[in-house]
Homo-oligomer: A and B are copies of this chain.
Amino acid sequence: MRVPRAALVCVGSELLAGQVNTHQAWLCVRLRRAGFEVVGESSVPDDAQALRRALERALAAADAVIVCGGLGPTFDDITREAAAAALDRTMSFRPALWKTILKRFARRHLRVPEENKRQAQVIAGATILANDAGSAPGQFLRSRGRSLALLPGPPSEMHPMFEGLVLPRLKKKHARDVHPAAFSVRLSGVPESAADERLAPVRARWPQARFTILASGGEVSFHALTAESSAPAARHARARLRREILDAVGEFAHGEGETTLEAAVGARLKARGISIAVAESCTGGLLGGSLTSVPGASSYFLGGVIAYENAVKNRRLGVPSRLLARHGAVSAECAAAMAKGARAALNSDMALAVTGVAGPGGGTAGKPAGLVFVAVCGPGRSNSVRRLEVHGPRETVRQRAVTAALRLAYDALS
């Protein structure tokens, strides 16, 4: 089976002036999961000629082309014109679409700038893609067996339009007879290289499949994708892939699909009715920030103490002064005492603590930048401390520390 191909074109001078391109990773994950292979991405400025050339190249290389950005009302929004030129088609003003746009403004009691009329220009043969979150409608086109989707740039508009309107059409057009078998797993507590080595035999057994391993902030995610000719064959292949992958790295897995470690910890806390608190030194609040990134975290997360200064560790967490004097703030002893202190101060069932040298300064020969201790206290009588040495800049050290603490909680809740 040939896997259908997709290509991305991201439009906007800001993407070439320092703004982070968030479209690429977001779209790649979703296209892959739907059974598409993404064969290329390009970012182009607000320049109709450059965009037209990029579109022509993308249409030559892929079955489906997704364009994000350049559908706004101003002179430098050139995606409609460039796409019409690339497909050699005309555009026309659609009064009904204009009425929809006018209504949207009226609901918000806003004046409609005359230039917004450009957003009612539609390429011949296009299906209009409604935008519930903004004024720029999208367009979906078919040409010589290819699909071309034009979507607005703001993620809050692009995301629901892609998932609700574009992806179902792409699956129907290009993946009707292709039955993707995709399996993803997220790992923590294991270096990428070690995970990769353990997974090598699985890769060898599936020469026709595509595998990707990604490491980010101390988590590793592994994706497998293969295409089968029938739905039952795909279900069977997925079950086999899943079994083989979990046999190889299951002990490090905290979730299938896109489950983040903080969500996996949250799910275990919620299922068992256990509350949690944190005590943070070098992470300065990032561990609490991570736990509370999960909607509904208030059902298990109580709060914590950010104890950056030693006096705060002593007074607010009850870490004994003589412990600090003897072992220092960056020590297994201090981490354990911080966790115990947070559990008592917040009256929680369990608590996590982090202390370390985030760097780049502040390290010594015995305690270099990157040395971190994470500790867990509870639930019940369980306690444990882990030591890690991270090589990398300040934010890498802090992110790894958060991941290590979360993994400690995940294991303590097993």
Contact = CB atoms under 8 A, between A and B. Distances in A.
A304 B302 contact: no
Give the secondary structure class of A's interface.
mixed
Query: Top 9 A-B pairs ranked by shortest CB distance?
Result: A284-B292, A285-B285, A285-B288, A286-B289, A17-B212, A303-B312, A18-B29, A16-B38, A285-B289
A156 B397 CA distance: 13
A32 B15 contact: no
The CB with the most chain B CB atoms within 10 A, among A214, A303, A345, is that of A303
A16 B40 contact: yes
Contacts of A297: 284, 308
A250 interface: no
- Tier of interface size on chain A: 35 or more
Given A16-B28, A20-B20, A288-B288, 4 more contacts: A17-B38, A288-B306, A288-B308, A301-B309
B41 A42 contact: yes
A284 B277 CA distance: 11
A21 B25 CA distance: 7
A15 B221 CA distance: 13
B289 A289 contact: yes
Contacts of A304: 285, 305-306
Contacts of A288: 280, 284-286, 288, 306, 308
Nearest to A305: B305
Interface string A30-74: 001000011111111100001000100100000000000000000
Given A16-B38, A39-B45, A288-B284, A311 B347 contact: yes
Contact of A24 (B21, B28, B316): B21
16 contacts: A13-B212, A14-B213, A14-B214, A21-B24, A42-B43, A278-B306, A284-B291, A286-B289, A288-B308, A289-B398, A296-B361, A302-B311, A303-B306, A304-B305, A305-B305, A311-B347
